[in-house]
Amino acid sequence: MSSNEIFELLSESGARRLPDPLRKLGGKAVASSEEWEQGRREEVLRLFEERVFGAGPVGRPRRIAFEVKPTEGWMGGSAVRKQVRIRSEGPGGENVVRLLLFVPVSAKERPVPAFLLINNRGSEHMDAAREKRSPFWPAEAIVARGFAAAVFDNADADPDHHDGFRDGVHGVFDPPGERPGHAWGTIAAWAWAASRAMDYLETDHHIDASKAAVVGHSRGGKTALWAGAADRRFALVVSNNSGCTGAAVSRGKGGETIRQINDRFPHWFCENYKAYNDNEYALPVDQHMLIGLIAPRHVYVASATEDLWADPESEFLGLTFASPVYRLYGMDGIAGLPMPTAEQPLHTNGMGYHLRAGGHDMTEYDWQRFMDYAERFLCD
């Protein structure tokens, strides 16, 4: 199915009217991956920075350091634990993000791929002592399948409350004076921290950083998508139950809307995003275009049958209408394929999707499907 055919189907639905990712703001169509790379991709990325997530004042800081504490004998002797402190310094002081890894002992012979979780559920879900184990981050199961299991707490980068952007990395790096409308919000700060974790992974000789996946659930899933769009080092981007301003297209979406998310969480996005409250159709981008920014790398979206606030159908459509970008690179999207029923994963060489029975959560079932996909397409 061609890009034009896809968007004809979209128009026939009458409810979505999504912007075409392969048409520049001036109206010119994009017909090749070269044309996407030479202008349209940057245009879309900047629109998301200016209108949705905000632009940060710094990428990798000039002053950054990694303190690593490794210990062996974990998980019945099958893993090495590494506790890493990522220290970043800026005009407003210092920020420390604690990164926890369990690496299979097989990595001593050959570097292994890694799954990096953006943890938005609190420290009890990433217990370094493994006295508390959670299906939200099943580190033992990840290591058993030959992957390094990495995680950081998003609150280390920026606590999840609205204090006027004085704490976290905003307080360390924001320039003085009034914040512009496109200044980075909290989700952009969490995505920034994921990139700093990737900075460390690239230095670890036990990790194959070219095969690193970033994973997030709910607000963390929104963060994973933005991290993967902005930082092309992530080879696989996994977004679980991410809903509004995540994988779900906003036009015609059920459940949570842009107004509702901005009213409840005014600090998550840039101030400019509030102009689209009850005004989704004026936004020059939609979430399928965020997913398109990940091409030609792999992307995986997961939904849950009872998670109507996130709207599984709109999450699936996010992948569907990102497919034309993947096809520029000769990769299969999912356009033209029906939405699968629960527990029937859909995997192509560009995209993965599954619908899990149940509610708003991330379970070991979800993780096993993410790893199935990675084994097939990332580790071949």
As annotated, the active-site residues are 218, 360
What residue type is 233 in one-letter code? R
What residue type is 203 in one-letter code? T
Element (H, E) at 366: helix 364-373
Spatial separation of the C-alpha atoms in residues 207 and 39, rounded to whole Å: 33
Contacts of residue 5, defined as CB under 8 A and 6 or more positions apart, other chains included, come to none
Spatial separation of the C-alpha atoms in residues 147 and 111, rounded to whole Å: 10
What residue type is 279 in one-letter code? N
Cα angle 173-40-46, degrees, rounded to a multiple of 5: 20
Q: 11 is written with which tokens? A: 């128009």
> Phi/psi at 13 (nearest 5 deg)?
-65, -25
Chain centroid to Cα 55, Å, comes to 16
Spatial separation of the C-alpha atoms in residues 300 and 221, rounded to whole Å: 10
Q: 28 is written with which tokens? A: 């010119």
Q: What is the CA radius of gyration of the chain?
A: 20
Q: 179 is written with which tokens? A: 């914040």
Q: 218 is written with which tokens? A: 């709910």
Q: Order of strands, edge to edge, in the sheet holding 79-90? A: 63-74, 79-90, 93-104, 148-153, 112-119, 207-217, 236-240, 298-304, 351-356, 346-347
Residue for token pair 């075409």: 20
DSSP string, 208-256: EEEEEEEEEETHHHHHHHHHHHH-TT-SEEEEES--BTTTB-STT--SS
DSSP-derived letter for residue 273 is G
